[in-house]
Amino acid sequence: MRRIGILTGGGDCPGLNAVIRATVKAATALHNWTVIGILDGFEGLLAPGLTRELTAEDVRGILPRGGTILGTTNRGNPFAYALRRGDRVEPVDRSAEVVENSARLGLDALVVIGGDGTLRIARDLHRLGLPVVGVPKTIDNDLATTDVTFGFDTALQTATEAIDKLHTTAESHHRVMLVEVMGRNAGWIALEAGLAGGADVVLIPEIPFRVEAVAERIAQRTARGRAFSIVVVAEGAAPHGEKQVFQQSTDAVALARLGGIAHVVGYELQQRTPHETRVTVLGHLQRGGSPSPFDRILGTRFGAMAVELVARGGFGRMVALHTPRIEDVSLDEAVDQPNRVPPSGELVCCAEAVGISFGA
Ligand code: F6P
């Protein structure tokens, strides 16, 4: 009988509970294994008291719930653990402790559910000898070796609903409405929500833009009697030759946080067009809420496949959707290249064909 650990790391997203539920159900019912839930990402393997056994009863009713019942953090990287010494924060390598504590807990395998940062940690822990299986999650959809990550579909739905709502008020007030969406350095949420919501302009990190070109498109619409416009701005988008915009923060430990580019563009458009402009930043709304049916099903398939991988001894590997199958890829390959929008790809061409400007 095996004992497997499971943790969620990095930013949360809808569908994490579906993976946890499927993993626990498959591991206990199919194999009679014990599942140990590790709380708050890798923190749970660095501090005492942050683990608990998960039975089928513990995962009852969690399928439609957003977030993660295990808790998560994007701070506890064991290879560069931020230790506060007085006023200073120093990175300390605590990876050996993770390996030791996993052995102390008697874990035969560790299922790590995370995005590129967490999966990179999982890959490095596997190199240290930890039997790890990865499961890809993120609303950003920026992992290349799976067709899509769970969480993306729900975030896309949230962003599309927001654009639909902004459309009606933009039209009533003859305004230019900008909506900033997440995605880090990948423009998938912006591009697909822009397509689904019938946006006029979509600005993504993969295609540097010029504000003049955006203003020009708005002027063309005005000339055709369309006195309002919808501009979707990915948080990682940047004008030609300029840097991305980050939020101000006093947090020395957290990663630099993108955000604010829509306000910059909105201000510029206000100067260049006769329209009033308004900015909506969707932020963490995109990470919350009940997962869509697609994300629930994908999360469930990933969880079941993670258990199968453990049973096969497929350590150092990650489950992946290769439609129509769920397969596995090496963690090395999984974190090697990000999945970014190809600037000349079919989706961008399709968007251009229906009149969406990228401000290029
Ligand atoms: O990676 C998911 C994500 O939501 C990004 O889209 C966003 O840039 C980032 O996480 C926000 O992180 P935090 O929750 O730490 O503000």
Q: Ligand 1 atom closest to Cα of 236?
A: 8
User: Does 30 share its domain with 165?
Assistant: no
Write down the pLDDT at residue 87: 83
Q: Which of 68, 72, 73, 74 to mutate to test the pocket of ligand 1 (most atoms within 8 A of CB)?
A: 74
User: Does 146 share its domain with 245?
Assistant: no
Q: How many domains does the chain have?
A: 2
Q: Ligand 1 atom closest to Cα of 259?
A: 8
Q: Which of 8, 184, 253 to mutate to test the pocket of ligand 1 (most atoms within 8 A of CB)?
A: 184
Among protein residues, the one with the nearest Cα to ligand 1's atom 15 is 11
The answer as to whether 337 is a domain residue is: no
User: Does 196 share its domain with 94?
Assistant: no
Amino acid at 244: Q
Assign residue 208 the CATH number of its domain.
3.40.50.460
Dist. CA 171 → ligand 1 center (Å): 31
User: Does 50 share its domain with 64?
Assistant: yes
Query: Measuring CA to CA, which residue among 190, 150, 129 is closest to residue 301?
Result: 150
Write down the pLDDT at residue 161: 98
What's the rounded Cα separation, in Å, for the pair 357 and 209? Answer: 10
Write down the pLDDT at residue 256: 87
Catalytic residues: 140
Dist. CA 157 → ligand 1 center (Å): 17
Q: Ligand 1 atom closest to Cα of 183?
A: 6
Among protein residues, the one with the nearest Cα to ligand 1's atom 14 is 11
Residue list, ligand 1 pocket, CB within 6 Å: 11, 74, 115, 138-140, 182-184, 235, 257-258, 287
Q: Ligand 1 atom closest to Cα of 254?
A: 15
- With a cut of 90, say whether residue 76 has pLDDT above it: no
Task: Quickly tell me which residue has 């129509």 as its tokens.
Answer: 324
Write down the pLDDT at residue 273: 94
pLDDT class of 1 with cuts at 50, 70, 90: confident
Q: Is the dihedral of CA 12, 80, 4, 146 positive or negative?
A: positive
What's the rounded Cα separation, in Å, for the pair 352 and 112? Answer: 39
Dist. CA 14 → ligand 1 center (Å): 13
Query: Measuring CA to CA, which residue among 241, 221, 237 is closest to residue 229?
Result: 221
- Structural domain containing residue 125: 3-150+291-323
Q: Which residues contact 156 (CB under 8 A, 6 or more apart)?
A: 189, 192, 193, 196
Averaged pLDDT score across all residues of the chain:
97
Indicate the range of 57-66, 89-98, 246-255 predicted with least confidence. Answer: 246-255
Dist. CA 239 → ligand 1 center (Å): 21
User: Does 115 share its domain with 160?
Assistant: no
Whole-number percent of the chain with pLDDT over 90: 94
pLDDT class of 345 with cuts at 50, 70, 90: very high
User: Does 249 share its domain with 135?
Assistant: no
| Average confidence (pLDDT) over 192-202 | 98
The answer as to whether 358 is a domain residue is: no
Q: Are residues 152 and 140 in contact, defined by beta-carbon separation less than 8 angstroms?
A: yes
Query: Measuring CA to CA, which residue among 291, 257, 275 is closest to residue 180?
Result: 257
Query: Measuring CA to CA, which residue among 193, 189, 198, 271 is closest to residue 229?
Result: 198
The answer as to whether 332 is a domain residue is: no
106: region left, alpha or beta (phi > 0 left; psi from -120 to 50 alpha)? left
Write down the pLDDT at residue 77: 95
Identify the DSSP state of 334: H
Q: Is 321 helix (H, G, I), strand (E, B) or coil?
A: strand
Write down the pLDDT at residue 110: 98
User: Does 55 share its domain with 190?
Assistant: no
| Average confidence (pLDDT) over 121-145 | 98
User: Does 8 share its domain with 142?
Assistant: yes
What's the rounded Cα separation, in Å, for the pair 67 and 293? Answer: 15
Write down the pLDDT at residue 351: 98
Question: pTM of the prediction?
Answer: 0.96
User: Does 170 share its domain with 25?
Assistant: no
Write down the pLDDT at residue 192: 98
Assign residue 135 the CATH number of its domain.
3.40.50.450
Q: Are residues 198 and 232 in contact, defined by beta-carbon separation less than 8 angstroms?
A: no
Dist. CA 11 → ligand 1 center (Å): 6
Q: Ligand 1 atom closest to Cα of 286?
A: 4
Residue by residue, DSSP assigns 54-106 as: E-TTTTTT-TT--S-TT---SS--GGGEEEEETTEEEEE--HHHHHHHHHHTT
- With a cut of 80, say whether residue 232 has pLDDT above it: yes
| Average confidence (pLDDT) over 70-92 | 91
Write down the pLDDT at residue 269: 97
The answer as to whether 129 is a domain residue is: yes
Dist. CA 259 → ligand 1 center (Å): 10
User: Does 222 share its domain with 348?
Assistant: yes
Residue by residue, DSSP assigns 264-310 as: HHHHHHHHHSSS-EEEEE-GGGGG-SPPPHHHHHHHHHHHHHHHHHH
More confident residue, 227 or 254: 227
Write down the pLDDT at residue 328: 98
The sheet with strand 51-54 has its strands ordered as: 51-54, 34-38, 3-8, 109-114, 132-136, 317-322, 325-330
